[in-house]
Amino acid sequence: MFPLDYHALLPEIILAVTVLVTLVVDLTTRKKYLVALTAMVGLFAAFVPVLTLAFCDSLEFCAAAGVDRVLFGGSYVVDGYALVFKGLFIFAAFIALLLSIGYLEADRYYEGEYYFLLIASALGAVVMASSRDFVSMIVALELVSGPAFLLAGWRKGDPRSNEAALKFFITGIIALSLLLFGVSLLYGLTGTIQFDQIAVASMAVADLPLFTLAVIFVLLGFGFKVSAVPFHFWTPDTYEGAPKPVTAWIAVGSKAAGFVGLLTVAYLAFPGVTEVWGPVMWVLALLSMTVGNIVAIKQTNVIRLLGYSSIAQAGFMLAPFGAAAASGADSLSQVFAATVTYLVIFVVMNLGAFAVVIIIGSRVGSYEFEDWAGLNRYAPGLAIMLAVFFMSLAGIPPLAGWFAKFAVFQATIGVGNWWGYSIAIAAALNAVIAFVYYAKVLKPAFFDPVPKGVDVEALEAAEIPAPIGFALALTAFGVIVLGVFPGVAANLGQYTAQVVAALGG
Amino acid sequence: MPTLMETVTMADWFRETANWVFLLIAFPTVFGAWRTVSSDNIVRAVLYLVVALGGTAAMFLMLGAAFIGWTVVLVYIGAVVILFLMGIMITRAPLGAEAKLSHGREVKVPAALLSGILFAVIAGSVVDAFGASIIRPFEPTLTTDLANVLFGRFIIPFEVVSFVLLAALIGGIVLARQDDVGGLE
């Protein structure tokens, strides 16, 4: 019925095989780093077909097929948008894996199964990027979250880890049931679950209150996943209690997957009814930015601070959605591109921030940033890295974060109505507030004396484990390159936005 | 869609035998669901859940979705409820009446209020959207058709679900396994 396009599905197939091979390797060897190595080779191998698919037009063997490939009658699409995110997810999983290697060895918890679950979660994210109907998307979203729930509770002996997993699990299930309920209403109204068909069918039922309700349920379901306020309460506790590399994956991979869901559903399934979802997203964006930032100021723990900061960052990414409320089809692709650009930069800089925080935290033995006083006396390199990533998160040029914020301002103002202007003003105010707490972490590290009783020589002599050091170098390189050449991220954003522009016509 | 816009009176509604069957199923289902959450005894709550799930299965059968109806019976009533009961017995949970299962008035009242409002909003908009449509008796879905769709168009979600289950299985074993705290081997 549907002949399979194996080239288009190759990244998924390679990852699926990798998931199974990690299990076999884990069974046959006691050297658990081999499992991690297998997983890394698999991720690397899966990245190759992403590239060949993206540059299909200029490659001899597949030029005929082109970049845009529609599979299964339109419910699974491999296009530029999907490929950018597949690449991004594979990159994020690769970094998360690098962060995990040293961490798990020190912690003495199960390792092989851990890598297996991490790759399974990454597979879900990769499938998610191509899903264009609700069944594929929700099932893929569960493959992202399911292993993440389990990984959050990996430190079985630590009650905080148990709490992290339980909170994450329960809120995740509530989100899923909201989402499914909304989808069932939508199916009843439109008679289809495929996004391109919903986009057409929804025009006829757009005036019904039930349609508004269904759309709100669906978006709120994703709101939990991206930890937008008021669905954020699980975030800080889960971030703090989960093993730190898992936190990095949840904060970046799982959140980006949630955003892919939001982007796909909002812009591809409901492009004609922006007046229904725009205002909802506007409120979510405003609340997420403001509440996330204000609560972040009071934090003393770096991980919790990153938790609230990521809530605020989610607000920035939601802002273009809010600006879409009253915008025409032509500016829709611009606001879409802004969110994608922000997301690409956010993934790189937030992973880097987690990498440096994990290194410093495990060396100092504390994640309270008051304990990091005098960091630049004994580890100047790490202190500079900390500054690089936190300044990038705050949005200071020439680090990548500034361009992410710039793209959001440009798109929201470019819409040219008060939905856009108001959210841009709110974003500007929040960017200033955000600077306060990012600077608060850096102040003790650079300007305070080393606390008494700290063995400075031991701290000086400690070495950065190679895998996590490599992750740090990769992300630092990314943050600087994306900051100095912001065109890279912007082009990715515009490239993905073609999928929306094609719709608007 | 098997819906048709027509004006219909209450008397017409009661003249249709299918509606009586619907009521016969719906009332016990709602009652079972209500007792599942309000019962103070956890074993009773599970048994009321059987009633609620049984009603759901009957609804699916009424709609001609035989495969899904029997899946609910076999998987949910058959396997999941048994798992619940096994879980309760294995984990030394109290089997008698347990006051702690219910919250105090300060939680109950706002919760009831909130669910009441939510119900009113959902019910109101559903009636608004579908109130005037009549579901005619229609052809039952063949299980063969379902299989063709499942292993054709929906092959990717089908494969992904199997990975979700594999991950849940292995992760569940690791988390539930009893070993020295923090210990490997």
Q: Which of A199, A224, A75 is nearest to A145 (CA)?
A: A224
Structure tokens at A440: 């608060």
Task: Write down the pLDDT at residue A98.
Answer: 92
Residue A269 to residue A279: CA distance in whole angstroms:
17
Task: Write down the pLDDT at residue A413.
Answer: 87
Task: Write down the pLDDT at residue A30.
Answer: 82
Q: Which of A45, A20, A254, A244 is nearest to A143 (CA)?
A: A254
Is the pLDDT at B180 greater than 50? The verdict is yes
The one-letter amino acid code at A496 reads T
Provide the pLDDT confidence category of residue A204 given band limits of 50, 70 and 90. confident
Sketch the domain layout of chain B as residue ranges.
3-138, 142-185
CA distances to A266, A368, B1, B67 from A279, in Å: 12, 38, 31, 41
Interface pTM, i.e. ipTM: 0.90
Is A19 touching B (CB cutoff 8 A)? yes
Residue B139 to residue B64: CA distance in whole angstroms:
7
Task: Write down the pLDDT at residue B170.
Answer: 92
Query: pLDDT digits over B59-91, tens only?
Result: 998 888 888 899 999 999 988 888 888 888 877
Query: pLDDT digits over A334-349, tens only?
Result: 888 999 999 999 999 9
Q: Which of A124, A108, A121, A106 is nearest to A151 (CA)?
A: A121
Is the pLDDT at A153 greater than 50? The verdict is yes
What residues of chain A lie within 8 A of the CB of B182, using their CB? 107-109, 155-157
Residue A361 to residue A183: CA distance in whole angstroms:
43
**Are A19 and B157 a contacting pair at CB < 8 A?**
no
**Are B130 and A16 a contacting pair at CB < 8 A?**
no
Provide the pLDDT confidence category of residue A314 given band limits of 50, 70 and 90. very high
Give how far A216 is from chain B: nearest CA, Å. Answer: 12
Task: Write down the pLDDT at residue B132.
Answer: 73
Q: Which residue has the higher pLDDT, A391 or A460?
A: A391
What residues of chain A lie within 8 A of the CB of B160, using their CB? 123-124, 127, 136, 139-140, 143
Give how far A291 is from chain B: nearest CA, Å. Answer: 24
Beta-carbon neighbour count of residue A185 at 10 Å? 23
Q: Which residue has the higher pLDDT, A33 or A256?
A: A256
Q: How do strand B3-5 and strand B133-135 relate by DSSP bridges?
A: antiparallel
Give how far B171 is from chain A: nearest CA, Å. Answer: 6
- Average pLDDT over all residues of chain A: 88
Give how far A270 is from chain B: nearest CA, Å. Answer: 19
Is the pLDDT at B183 greater than 50? The verdict is no
Q: With a CB-CB cutoff of 8 Å, which residues 408-447 of chain A face chain B?
A: none
- Average pLDDT of the residues in A255-265: 93
Task: Write down the pLDDT at residue A103.
Answer: 81
Provide the pLDDT confidence category of residue B185 given band limits of 50, 70 and 90. very low
Task: Write down the pLDDT at residue B6.
Answer: 53
- Average pLDDT over all residues of chain B: 82
Task: Write down the pLDDT at residue B2.
Answer: 41
Residue A269 to residue A185: CA distance in whole angstroms:
14
Residue A332 to residue A324: CA distance in whole angstroms:
6
- List phi, psi (to 5°) of A316: -60, -40
Is the pLDDT at B97 greater than 70? The verdict is no
Residues of chain A with pLDDT > 70: what percent? 97
DSSP code string of A298-329: T--BHHHHHHHHHHHHHHHHHHHHHHGGG--H
Task: Write down the pLDDT at residue B7.
Answer: 58
Residue A496 to residue A87: CA distance in whole angstroms:
12
Residue A474 to residue A470: CA distance in whole angstroms:
6
Residue A113 to residue A19: CA distance in whole angstroms:
10
Is the pLDDT at A390 greater than 80? The verdict is yes
Q: With a CB-CB cutoff of 8 Å, which residues 41-80 of chain A face chain B?
A: 72-73, 75-76
Q: Which of A170, A157, A142 is nearest to A237 (CA)?
A: A170
Task: Write down the pLDDT at residue B3.
Answer: 44
Provide the pLDDT confidence category of residue A134 given band limits of 50, 70 and 90. very high
**Which residue in the set A147, A165, A210 is minimally distant from B128, CB to CB?**
A210
Could you write out the three-class secondary structure of B68-88?
A: HHHHHHHHHHHHHHHHHHHHH
Is A353 touching B (CB cutoff 8 A)? no
Task: Write down the pLDDT at residue B184.
Answer: 46
- List phi, psi (to 5°) of B126: -65, -45
Give how far B97 is from chain A: nearest CA, Å. Answer: 25
Structure tokens at B140: 């039952």
CA distances to A222, B19, B67 from A185, in Å: 16, 22, 22
Is the pLDDT at B141 greater than 50? The verdict is yes
Asked whether A423 and A322 are in contact (CB, 8 A), the reply is yes
Residues of chain A with pLDDT > 90: what percent? 44
Is the pLDDT at A17 greater than 70? The verdict is yes
- A419 by DSSP, 3-state: which? helix
Q: Which residue has the higher pLDDT, A231 or A86?
A: A86
Provide the pLDDT confidence category of residue B101 given band limits of 50, 70 and 90. low
Provide the pLDDT confidence category of residue B102 given band limits of 50, 70 and 90. low
Asked whether B38 and B51 are in contact (CB, 8 A), the reply is no
Task: Write down the pLDDT at residue B52.
Answer: 95
Beta-carbon neighbour count of residue B174 at 10 Å? 20
Residues of chain B with pLDDT > 90: what percent? 32
What residues of chain B lie within 8 A of the CB of A154, using their CB? 174-175
Residue A253 to residue A90: CA distance in whole angstroms:
9
Question: Which run of H or E residues covers position A471?
Answer: helix A466-484
The one-letter amino acid code at A448 reads D
Residue B70 to residue B77: CA distance in whole angstroms:
10
Provide the pLDDT confidence category of residue B5 given band limits of 50, 70 and 90. very low
Span B3-138: which CATH code?
Answer: 1.20.120.1200
Asked whether A224 and A231 are in contact (CB, 8 A), the reply is yes
Residue A505 to residue A199: CA distance in whole angstroms:
14
> At what angle are helices A302-323 and A401-414 packed, to 10 degrees?
30
Residue A20 to residue B39: CA distance in whole angstroms:
44
Query: pLDDT digits over B154-175, tens only?
Result: 999 999 999 999 999 999 888 8
Q: Which range in A45-59, A86-100, A226-240, A442-456 is most confidently predicted, on average pLDDT?
A: A86-100
Task: Write down the pLDDT at residue B114.
Answer: 92
- Average pLDDT of the residues in A70-84: 88
Is the pLDDT at B24 greater than 80? The verdict is yes
- Average pLDDT of the residues in A21-26: 92
Q: Which of B90, B101, B110 is nearest to B48 (CA)?
A: B101
pTM of the predicted structure, to 2 decimals = 0.91
Task: Write down the pLDDT at residue A264.
Answer: 92
Provide the pLDDT confidence category of residue A144 given band limits of 50, 70 and 90. very high
**Which residue in the set A16, A108, A142 is minimally distant from B183, CB to CB?**
A108
Residue A427 to residue A422: CA distance in whole angstroms:
9
* Nearby residues of B31 by Cβ (< 8 Å), 6 or more positions away: B51
- Average pLDDT of the residues in A238-263: 92
Query: pLDDT digits over A163-190, tens only?
Result: 999 999 999 998 899 999 999 999 989 9
Is the pLDDT at B12 greater than 50? The verdict is yes
C-beta contacts of A162-170 below 8 A and 24+ residues apart: A162/A241, A163/A237, A163/A241, A164/A237, A164/A238, A164/A239, A164/A240, A164/A241, A164/A242, A165/A238, A165/A241, A165/A242, A165/B175, A167/A233, A167/A234, A167/A237, A167/A238, A168/A234, A168/A238, A168/A242, A168/A250, A170/A234
- Average pLDDT of the residues in A20-42: 90
- Average pLDDT of the residues in B131-138: 70
Cα A457-A461-A465 angle, rounded to 5 deg: 145
- Average pLDDT of the residues in A455-466: 80
Structure tokens at A445: 């590290």
